[in-house]
Structure 1
Amino acid sequence: MAIEEVREYFNKWDMADKILEFDVSSATVELAAQAVGCEPKRIAKTLSFMVDGKAILIVVAGDAKIDNSKYKSQFSTKAKMLTPDEVIDLVGHAVGGVCPFGIKDGVNVYLDESLKRFKTVFPACGSSNSAIELTIDELEKYSNYSSWIDVCKGWE
């Protein structure tokens, strides 16, 4: 189960006890915001794409949407989201619980500028009923991100 891998991942930093598990689904931004008790825009959703034959993850604010022209400028290709099966095979988490923690080797993680306006955000933790509250500095530290990018719209 992916949440166990994420828990084990966070054990390295004594952070596993900060993982929140809910009795309700947190598989969408709206459901996660209800479960956590925050505004939807503070949910850090992790989107999965294929670039040059490899999976990448982009963590974005809950109210942000991919801007195709910004994405193409950043990655020199059209935005092509992974299928649910590809996400499991290439990333290691199922849709609804995708996060940048405890993922398969070789998956690059990017953080979108839309997150920088918050003190803390809530990414998922490998299951469709989990999250963790992290500061932006903590998100940087634990996500092993490659870089900050600006590929979203609708949040400004």
Structure 2
Amino acid sequence: MAIDRVKEYFRKYGMEERIQEFEVSSATVALAAQALGCEPARIAKTLSFMVDGQAILVVAAGDVKIDNGKYKKQFGTKAKMLSPDEVVELVGHAVGGVCPFAVKPGVKVYLDESLKRFETVFPACGSSNSAIELTMPEMEKYAGEEGWVDVCKLAEG
């Protein structure tokens, strides 16, 4: 299971005990916020795209969506999300538990500027009922292999 790979990943840093597992689903931003008792914006959602034949991940705040113009400027192509089957095959995690940790080799991970508003955020940990609370320096260390991008905008409503 993907959560076991994520636990192993964090075990190398002595942090596996910080992973939280819930009795309820945390597969969406709303469900994760409810499970954690935090505002939805602090859920660090991981979005999966295809760029030049390679899977990439963009980790963004829970209250934003991709800005197609910014995305195209950053990556030189239109935003094309992976299908659920492609996510499992290319990234190594199933939709609902996609995270930037313990992904398959070659998957590039980017952190969106929308996360910087918060002292800590909660990304998933490879399952649809898990999360870990990380500071921005920790996000950079454990997830942000490629660095920061600005490809999102606040969702309407």
Q: Same fold (TM over 0.5)?
A: yes
What do residues 18-62 of structure 1 show as CA deviations (whole Å, max 9, x unaligned)?
000000000000000000110000000000000000000000000
- What amino acid is aligned across from residue 21 of structure 1 in structure 2? E
CA distance in 2: counterparts of 1:104 and 1:28, whole angstroms: 22
| Contact 2:140/2:147 (<8 A) preserved | no
Query: Shift of residue 147 of structure 1?
Result: 1.4
CA distance in 2: counterparts of 1:97 and 1:154, whole angstroms: 22
CA distance in 1: counterparts of 2:74 and 2:123, whole angstroms: 23
Structure 1-normalised TM-score? 0.98
Aligned to 1:149: 149
- What amino acid is aligned across from residue 128 of structure 2 in structure 1? S
Secondary structure of 1:99 counterpart: coil
Aligned to 1:31: 31
Structure 2: state its 5+ residue gaps: none
CA distance in 2: counterparts of 1:12 and 1:69, whole angstroms: 38
CA distance in 2: counterparts of 1:61 and 1:74, whole angstroms: 18
Structure 1: state its 5+ residue gaps: none
- Within 5 Å, give how 1:11-90 maps onto structure 2: 11-90=11-90
**Does 1:5 find its partner at 2:9?**
no
Please give the root-mean-square deviation of Cα atoms over the aligned residues, in Å: 1.1
- What amino acid is aligned across from residue 47 of structure 1 in structure 2? L
Distance 1:132 1:152, change over 3 A: same
Determine what percentage of the aligned residue pairs are the same residue: 74
Aligned to 1:140: 140
CA distance in 2: counterparts of 1:58 and 1:115, whole angstroms: 11
Structure 2-normalised TM-score? 0.98
CA distance in 2: counterparts of 1:27 and 1:92, whole angstroms: 16
Count residues with an aligned counterpart: 156
- Within 5 Å, give how 1:100-139 maps onto structure 2: 100-139=100-139
Secondary structure of 1:101 counterpart: coil
